[in-house]
Amino acid sequence: MQQVFGYSAFRGEQQDIIQTVSAGDDAMVLMPTGGGKSLCYQVPAIARHRAGLGVTLVISPLIALMHDQVGALEELGVHAAFLNSSLTGEEASRVEREMMSGRLVMLYAAPERVTNPRFMGMLTALDERGLLSLVAIDEAHCVSQWGHDFREDYLQLAQLHERFPNVPRVALTATADDHTRADMRERLALTGAREFISSFDRPNIRYAIVEKDEAKKQLIRFLRDEHEGDAGIVYCQSRKKVEETAAWLSSEGISALPYHAGLDADVRRRHQDRFLREDGLVMCATIAFGMGIDKPDVRFVAHLDLPKNIEGYYQETGRAGRDGEAADAWMAYGLADVVNQRRMIDESPAGDEFKKMQRGKLDALLTLAEAHDCRRVRLLAYFGEKSSACGNCDNCLNPPATWDATEAARMALSTVYRFRQHSGLSFGAGHLIDVLRGKVTDKTTQHGHGSLSTFGIGAKWSEQQWRGVIRQLLSLGHLQSEGEYNTLVLTDSARAVLKGEVPVLLREHRETPKGSGRTRRS
Ligand code: ADP
Ligand code: ZN
C-alpha cells in the first residue's frame, strides 16, 4: 500500500479485506463509490504476484475504466494490461503472451471474455501451471436481475469458480440492498465468501428533493445560487430531454454537454474527456453516463427525472463529492414522474414477478421523496444501516411544514369513485383537480361533472396542493394510473383512506427550499 501506492493508511475496512484476499479467501466487498474498492484487489494482486502466485484476472464491464486503471498501474510500475475489443489482433497477442508468461500482475477483461473458449483455454493452462492467482469481479451487482445494471454476461462468471475452484475470488460493488447481495452470493457461487460491508454514508453529500414546479427554472436557480462554475451532472430520463436540457443550459450561459447512448461513440468519448479534463462543465446525461467515471470534484448531481429506484438514486448521486468536499444531490420530483415510472414498469415486457419487484423498489424511492424527516436516515435504512438525523439534508436543515391532507385525500378519492359511478369512466389528474376546485371546462360540461356532489368542494386548496395530494395518493398506492391517458382508479387500499382510517400528512409546498449552505452569490 505504501510502497507502491504511497498511501500511509488504510481506509475503512481495506486492511481487513486486503488481508483476507491476499491470504486466498473469498470475499464480497460492499463499499460506497469512492470508498477505495480498487485497492482491495490491487494490493492483494501485487502481494500474491510477488509470492509467485501469478496473474490476477480483473473482470470489469467498463472499457474506459480499464484504460484508466491500467494506465495508472503501469505508471506506478505495476505490470498490468487489458483485453477488450479496442485492441488490434497484434496488441491482443502481446497481452496474451505477457499473461501466459506469468509476468503480468493484473489482467483486466470484460465479462464476455469468460464465455470465449479460447480465453478459457488460456486461463486453464495458466491455472494448471499455478499462475492464476486471483479473480476480482468488479461491479458485481451487474449479476443481479433486480438491479438496474444487469448484464447477461455476468451470469457466466460462476463458471470461473467451477473451472478453477482453488482460485480465490473477490466480488466488489457499490450497490447492495439485501436482495442484490443475496443474488451476488448465489449467482457468483460465493457461498463461503466473507462479507465486508462498509457504511454507505456519504456525509459530505447534502441531499435535497424538491417538489417539481417549473423544473428548468428550479434547476437554473439551483445552479446559479449554489454552483456557479462547478462541474456537475444533470440526469434526465430520455435522450431527447438530455439534448434539450444541454442546449437550454448553454443558451443560459452555462457550459453544458449532452451524453446518451444515442450519440456517436466518438462524440460520447469527446464529451466524457472534456468533462473529466475541463473545469466547471455540466454534463446532461441519461444513466448511460457515469459508471466508472472517476472525477473527484463533481460538485453536484441533479435529477430532473425520478430514477428507477433507491439503488439508482444512490449510485448516481454517489458520483458527487468523491474528493470528500461538500457536494449536493438535488432532485426535482413531481406527479408526472410517479405516473411515468409506474407506466414504464407496467408497459415493460418483463414478467409479473419482476414487475412486482420493480414496483416495490419504486415505492421505496417515492417514500424517500415524500419523506418529511431526515433523507439520509431513510436512505441508509434502505441499505440496512441505522443512523440518526444527519443535519445535512434539506429536511434536517429546513424541516418542512406539513398539513393534514386527510380531508382532501378523501375528497379526491370519492370524486374518482363518483366518476366511475356516474359514467363508468375514469379521468386523469388534471380533470380531477378541475372538478375538485369547481372549475368549469369543456370537459366538465361535456361529462356533466358540474352536477357531481363533490364539484367544487376542494376550492379552498390550490392546484399545487391538489397535485401534492394526488401524487401522495399515487405514491402510497391508494390511487393507480391506467392506460394511455393515465387515468386514475381506486385501489383496494383506498377504502381505508375514504373511511378516514388512514391519515394523510403532506409537506407544505414551498417555492424555493433553502439549503443552509454554500451560497456563492455575493
Ligand atoms: P471506488 O472504486 O470504491 O469507487 P477507488 O478505488 O476508485 O474507489 O478509490 C477512490 C479514491 O480514493 C482513489 O483516488 C484512490 O486512490 C483513493 N484511495 C483509496 N484508498 C485510499 C487510501 N487508503 N488512502 C488514500 N487514498 C485512497
Ligand atoms: Zn438529514
Q: pLDDT tens digits for 155-188? A: 999 999 999 999 999 999 987 677 888 999 999 9
pLDDT score for 266? 96
Q: Which residues of 476-509 are buried (b: 16+ CB within 10 A; e: fewer)?
A: bebbbbeeeebbbbbeeebeebbeeebebebbee
ipTM over 0.85: yes
**Distance of alpha carbon 301 from alpha carbon 341, whole angstroms:** 20
Tell me the pLDDT band of 340, cut-offs 50, 70 and 90: confident
**Distance of alpha carbon 123 from alpha carbon 134, whole angstroms:** 11
Pocket test of ligand 1: the residue of 294, 319, 323 to mutate, having most ligand atoms within 8 Å of its CB, is 294
CB 227 within 8 A of CB 249: no
Region 476-497: what's the mean pLDDT?
Answer: 86
**Distance of alpha carbon 338 from alpha carbon 336, whole angstroms:** 5
Q: Closest ligand 1 atom to the C-alpha of 138?
A: 2
pLDDT score for 509? 64
- Minimum-distance ligand to the CA of 200? 1
Tell me the pLDDT band of 206, cut-offs 50, 70 and 90: very high
Query: Taking 60 as the threshold, does the pLDDT of residue 514 lie above it?
Result: no
pLDDT score for 292? 67
pLDDT score for 210? 93
- Per-residue pLDDT tens digits for 442-484: 999 999 999 999 999 999 999 888 988 998 888 778 888 887 7
Beta strands 479-482 and 487-490 are antiparallel
Query: Taking 90 as the threshold, does the pLDDT of residue 11 lie above it?
Result: no
Q: Closest ligand 1 atom to the C-alpha of 37?
A: 3
The pLDDT mean for the chain works out to 90
Region 235-256: what's the mean pLDDT?
Answer: 96
Dihedral sign, Cα of residue 289, residue 290, residue 294, residue 299? positive
Tell me the pLDDT band of 510, cut-offs 50, 70 and 90: low
pLDDT score for 311? 86
Nearest to 314 by CA among 375, 359, 398, 356: 375
Burial degree of 350 (CB within 10 A; 0-12, 13-18, 19+): middle
Pocket test of ligand 1: the residue of 3, 5, 172, 319 to mutate, having most ligand atoms within 8 Å of its CB, is 5
Q: Specify the higher pLDDT residue, 292 or 250.
A: 250
Tell me, in angstroms, the distance from the centre of ligand 2 to residue 373's CA. 7
Ligand 1, atom 2: nearest CA belongs to which residue?
37
- Minimum-distance ligand to the CA of 391? 2
Query: Taking 50 as the threshold, does the pLDDT of residue 516 lie above it?
Result: no
What 3-state DSSP class applies to 208? strand
Contacts of 439 (CB under 8 A, 6+ apart): none
Q: Specify the higher pLDDT residue, 519 or 199.
A: 199
pLDDT score for 476? 78
Query: Taking 70 as the threshold, does the pLDDT of residue 515 lie above it?
Result: no
CB 293 within 8 A of CB 276: yes
**Distance of alpha carbon 281 from alpha carbon 252, whole angstroms:** 14
CA 517 to chain centre: 25
**Distance of alpha carbon 182 from alpha carbon 199, whole angstroms:** 18
- Per-residue pLDDT tens digits for 246-282: 999 999 999 999 999 999 999 999 999 999 999 999 9
Residue 445 backbone zone (phi > 0: left; psi -120 to 50: alpha; other: beta): alpha
- Per-residue pLDDT tens digits for 416-431: 999 999 988 999 999 9
Tell me, in angstroms, the distance from the centre of ligand 2 to residue 359's CA. 26
Element (H, E) at 376: helix 375-382
The Cα-based distances of 148 to 20, 192, 313, 383 in angstroms read: 30, 26, 11, 16
The share of the chain scoring above pLDDT 90, in percent, equals 66
Q: Closest ligand 1 atom to the C-alpha of 14?
A: 23
List all residues whose CB is within 6 A of at least one atom of ligand 1.
Answer: 7, 9-11, 14, 31, 33-39, 294
Angle at 151 between CA 146 and CA 157, to 5 degrees: 105
- Minimum-distance ligand to the CA of 371? 2
Element (H, E) at 479: strand 479-482
**Distance of alpha carbon 199 from alpha carbon 124, whole angstroms:** 37
**Distance of alpha carbon 435 from alpha carbon 451, whole angstroms:** 10
What spatial distance separates the first Cα and last Cα of the chain, rounded to whole Å?
44
- Say which range, 173-177, 201-205, 301-305, 347-351, has the weakest mean pLDDT: 173-177
Ligand 1, atom 13: nearest CA belongs to which residue?
36
Tell me, in angstroms, the distance from the centre of ligand 1 to residue 34's CA. 6
pLDDT score for 198? 86
- Minimum-distance ligand to the CA of 17? 1
Pocket test of ligand 1: the residue of 8, 14, 16, 38 to mutate, having most ligand atoms within 8 Å of its CB, is 38
- Per-residue pLDDT tens digits for 63-92: 878 888 999 999 999 999 999 888 899 999
- Per-residue pLDDT tens digits for 370-412: 888 999 999 998 887 889 999 999 999 999 888 888 999 999 9
CB 62 within 8 A of CB 108: no
Q: Specify the residue for cell string 449510485.
A: 315
**Distance of alpha carbon 201 from alpha carbon 75, whole angstroms:** 32
**Distance of alpha carbon 472 from alpha carbon 372, whole angstroms:** 12
pLDDT score for 294? 76
Question: How many other C-beta atoms can be found within 10 angstroms of the C-beta atom of residue 364?
Answer: 18
Tell me, in angstroms, the distance from the centre of ligand 1 to residue 9's CA. 11
Region 106-119: what's the mean pLDDT?
Answer: 92
pTM for the model = 0.71
Query: Taking 90 as the threshold, does the pLDDT of residue 133 lie above it?
Result: yes
Q: Closest ligand 1 atom to the C-alpha of 174?
A: 3
